[in-house]
Amino acid sequence: MDIILLKDIDKVGYKHEIVTVKNGYGRNYLIPKGVALIANAANRKKLDELRAKEDAAEAQKVDVYKEMATKLEGKVLRIGAKAGTSGKIFGSVTNIQIIQALKEQYDVDIERKKVVLPEDLKNVGAYKAVLNLHKEVVVNLDFEVVAE
């Protein structure tokens, strides 16, 4: 069954994407919850209109994203985490902690899904994250995980 997603769904797809799912999952879960539509001809036309509106809105934000990129260029973000004596932290560092630290330290507010972490961060040390702010604006962010 082909459906149009109205929201980002983990392991299925992103908003306004046409994906194929099993009939029962689409009919019994996604469509009744209001997170998907059947991908028929009428809904595909609506999808094109929605994509055009969102692309126009994102195009207006490119300047803001470029400004954020210049603000973060060459900066090192510090994230505190509780760690043991061997340098292994309790839990792991997630993209939620990255966006909270960005907001606190550099007053930059971005969406959680735009932060891509390289791996599971379970040790104290220096790492790099990728911020996909826009198709044209991608920032490589250096950050350190330090023991509190």
Please give the distance of CA 34 from its chain centroid, rounded to a whole number: 21
What the chain holds in terms of domains, given with CATH numbers, is: 2-61 (3.40.5.10), 67-147 (3.10.430.100)
Q: Which of 9-18, 27-36, 67-76 has the highest mean pLDDT?
A: 27-36
CB crowding 92-110: b at 16 or more within 10 Å, else e: ebebebbbebbeeeeebeb
Q: What is the pLDDT averaged over residues 42-70?
A: 87
Give residue-wise pLDDT tens across range 101-111: 999 998 888 88
Say how many residues make up the chain. 148
Alpha-carbon distance 55 to 133, whole Å? 14
Place of tokens 């459906």: 3
Predicted pLDDT of residue 72? 87
Q: What is the pLDDT averaged over residues 130-139?
A: 85
Predicted pLDDT of residue 57? 84
Place of tokens 């999808």: 47
Q: What is the pLDDT averaged over residues 6-12?
A: 88
Alpha-carbon distance 48 to 110, whole Å? 26
Q: What is the pLDDT averaged over residues 6-25?
A: 91
**Does residue 120 carry a pLDDT above 80?**
no
Q: What is the pLDDT averaged over residues 111-140?
A: 86
Alpha-carbon distance 137 to 145, whole Å? 25
Q: What is the pLDDT averaged over residues 90-99?
A: 89
Place of tokens 């973000």: 77
